[in-house]
Amino acid sequence: MKVLVGCEFSQVVTKAFRDRGHEAYSCDLLPTEGNPDWHFQEDVLSVLDQYDFDLMIAHPPCRYLSSSGLHWNKIRPERAKLTEDALVFVRKLLSVNIPKICLENSIGKISTSIRSPDQYIQPYDFGHDASKKTCLWLKGLPLLQIQKDKYIEPRIVNGKKRWGNQTDSGQNKLPPSKDRWKLRSRTYQGIADSMANQWV
């Protein structure tokens, strides 16, 4: 298949498809951390205007869409406009003429303003000691199948489940830094491998 992974600089998903023989490309406004021959450093919508793909997996930035930050929209009206712009971008991605589409994002504004996701996934169901509930909106694709033998058991803190990327209170362990958003935005390898194995 010819695959485009939109808004991906890490090439985790791109490489998973490449490893299985697909012609996969990443696309992001940032330079790639992987193979530049497999990367479009430009607006994903302009790439979609120029080339035909069989599958697109899109990871639009969640900064103005995630529930965790939407409370700021009432305090800062200019931020609310950025949320509306982000929703316009998501709608364009979901409406492109590609047979198979997966759009991935955090729980937030897409669910309430566009439609509910088709599936929620967690890294701990794909072999990672981490919790990060993620939404998938799918077109022409089946739900990702979870292998029970990949499930990672949590630790129990005061009766609550906690995984390796969480503090005892449930917050993400990553300290504030200029690269924190990059580290948190990466697709977990087990999820990327499942996409590449199942969505053929």
Residue 56's pLDDT band, with cuts at 50, 70 and 90, is: very high
Query: What six digits make up the tokens of 111?
Result: 């669910």
Could you give the angle at the alpha carbon of 121 between the alpha carbons of 159 and 95, nearest 5°? 150
CA distance to 27, 62, 87, 126, per residue, from 59 (Å): 10, 8, 13, 18
Q: H or E stretch including 184?
A: helix 180-185
Average pLDDT over residues 19-28: 98
The residue with greater pLDDT, 179 or 83, is 83
Delimit the domains of the chain by residue range. 2-198
The residue with greater pLDDT, 68 or 29, is 29
User: What digits encode the pLDDT tens for the residues 120-142?
Assistant: 999 999 999 999 999 999 999 99
Query: What six digits make up the tokens of 166?
Result: 């969480």
User: What digits encode the pLDDT tens for the residues 63-113?
Assistant: 767 777 666 667 777 777 888 899 999 999 999 999 999 999 998 889 999
**Phi and psi at residue 73, to the nearest 5°:** -65, -30
Give the pLDDT of residue 180.
Answer: 62
Average pLDDT, the chain: 91
Is 20:158 a contact under the CB 8 Å cutoff? no
Average pLDDT over residues 157-173: 89
Residue 33's pLDDT band, with cuts at 50, 70 and 90, is: very high
Residue 183's pLDDT band, with cuts at 50, 70 and 90, is: low
Residue 169's pLDDT band, with cuts at 50, 70 and 90, is: confident
Fold topology of 2-198: Rossmann fold (3.40.50)
Is 127:181 a contact under the CB 8 Å cutoff? no
Could you give the angle at the alpha carbon of 176 between the alpha carbons of 174 and 179, nearest 5°? 85
**Phi and psi at residue 134, to the nearest 5°:** -130, 140
